Structure formats: C-alpha cells, structure tokens
Amino acid sequence: MPELPEVETIARSLRNLVELPIENSVSIQTRPGIVGRVVSSVELLWSRSLVTPTLEELSSTINGKAVLSVGRRGKFLVIEFSGCWMFIHLRMSGDIRVEPVRVDGGEKHDRLAIRFTDGVQFVFNDPRKFGRVWLVTDPAQVIGSLGYEPFSDQLTGESFHRMLYSTSRRVKPFLLDQTCIAGLGNIYTDEALFLAGLHPLTPCSAITELQAESLLRSIRWVLEEGIRRNGASIDWVYRGGDFQNYFRVYQRTGEPCSICGTKIERTVVGQRGTHFCPQCQPLVNRL
C-alpha cells in the first residue's frame, strides 16, 4: 500500500487532471499539478530516502529545470525532467503533498521537499521511512527489471498463460512478484483472485488457459475500478479513495461472501495476509 490504483491517482492529480467525486464518496482531497513548474531548490530531510545521487548532485541536476511530465510504472511514481527522471516508490506509508512553501518547517514525517519558483513545494512524506527516491539518466537503472504493465497490449491471455504454466509457484506470490506483472499488491491480488474463482495457493502450472484469461480480465477489472474510485483508503496514510467500500474479500474475514454466503477466510501466503472464499475459490493442488 499504495498499489497501482493509488499511485495512478496521485500521478493523475500531479498532471493537473481534475478528479471528480464519485457517488456516495467522501470529499476527495485534490493535489495541485506540478507539470511545467520550475525547480528552485531541494531539501532532503532524511538522508536514506534518497538512494541516488547525492543531494548535491540532485540539486545541481534539477535546479532550474521544469517538470516535463508525471507518470507511473508499476508502483513507481515517475517525474520527468529534461535528460533525467525521478522515481519515487511510496512503499508502506509514503504520500505526496503539493502546497505553498511553508515557514513552519513542514510536517513531522516529511523526507524530501522540492520547491518551485512560484512558491509551491512538492513534499514526500513517509512515516515508516521505507519509501525511496532515485534520480537517474537511464530509467532502466530503476525499473529495468519490472514485468508487464497489467494493461499492456503485449500481455495477452495466451502470453499470460505461458508465464503461469512455466512456473511451479503458487499464484498469489507470482502475482505479487513485480518482475512478472508490475503494480499488483495485496489488496488487488486478493480481489482479482476472488473474481477469477482461484484459490491464492493454486499452483500456477495448474491454471488452464481459460482460467488464465479470466484471471487477466479480473486483474484489469479490479485495477480499473480501483482507479475509477481513486484507490482504496484503509489507513491514515493514503486518503481520498473509496474502493475499500467495495471490497469483496480483502479485510472481510468472517463476513459472508457476496456470491455464496460462505464466511470469508484469512490465511497467510508468502508472509502476506490473504483473504478468500473457500467455496468460490476451491484449492486445486494439481501440479
């Protein structure tokens, strides 16, 4: 957390896109865009947040440069400058604020502040200190090992089935592996597996081509729905989305399945809390 829909929501807001409230939602906090703004200074408030380069190199590289674009790759927020790219991984607790430059020193867990010539600042806040920032001239230095984007045209039902069939791993750890498909995390993996009727411990090699196609459709559907609803707000870190009100299995342990009424169960898969319906998602151990 945040996962692909949450990072995409942040990226869209930073591109000056206006996100309209959706039905039955609380008011959505908006973030002013940063595209076109020119950097005046950089302040690093916790040294380990910045992986590369040094603060001095970072400042000398982007000071005076305008933000050309803001995007996303997997769970990475991508900010483009002329000749270089900044990657930010929010990890467990990272968040972004865009606000007028403050004279009060900012908030307790601010880790990096990029100030612009028009009096606005971009702030990376990260209470748990797991988030990281890179500035590189070659994006492959950071994202070269990432797998397919879930919405890539190259990721077809056939190619997805080949990926699954070639490994003996269980399906949930496979989906969480960012070198396979980039952007999925615990929430959207559990939701997609439920929609596809697959138990989280199903061996990948036991998944048929039809099941693979169904799973890929389910992945894309839950991600699209998550983006439409501005992500899921399930703690004090990421705020503004309401996809949490539409979970079918995630964090619904003991509640009735919306399809069959069986109680949702929780187990641990690959050290991750995992939610599923034992009736709708029967375990098939065929290898």
Distance CA 230, CA 226 (A): 6
Distance CA 272, CA 198 (A): 17
2 is catalytic: yes
5 is catalytic: no
> What tokens does 232 get?
């899921």
23 is catalytic: no
How open is the CA angle 80-84-85, to the nearest 5 degrees?
45
DSSP letters for 55-79: HHHHHHHHTTPBP-EEEEETTEEEE
Distance CA 155, CA 152 (A): 5
Helix (H, G, I), strand (E, B) or coil at 124: strand
Catalytic-role residue among 3, 6, 8, 191: 3
Catalytic-role residue among 2, 5, 200, 203: 2
CA distances from 212 to 52, 160, 170, 224, 226 (A): 39, 7, 13, 18, 21
Catalytic-role residue among 15, 129, 228, 272: 272
3 is catalytic: yes
Distance CA 234, CA 1 (A): 9
Pairing of strands 120-125, 39-44: unpaired
For 87, half-sphere exposure in the C-beta direction (CA atoms, 13 angstrom radius) is 20
Give φ, ψ of 127 to 5 degrees.
Answer: -55, -40
Helix (H, G, I), strand (E, B) or coil at 282: coil
Q: At what angle do helices 4-14 and 209-228 cross, to 10 degrees?
A: 40
Helix (H, G, I), strand (E, B) or coil at 64: coil
Catalytic-role residue among 12, 75, 172, 229: 75
- Show which residues are catalytic: 2-3, 75, 272
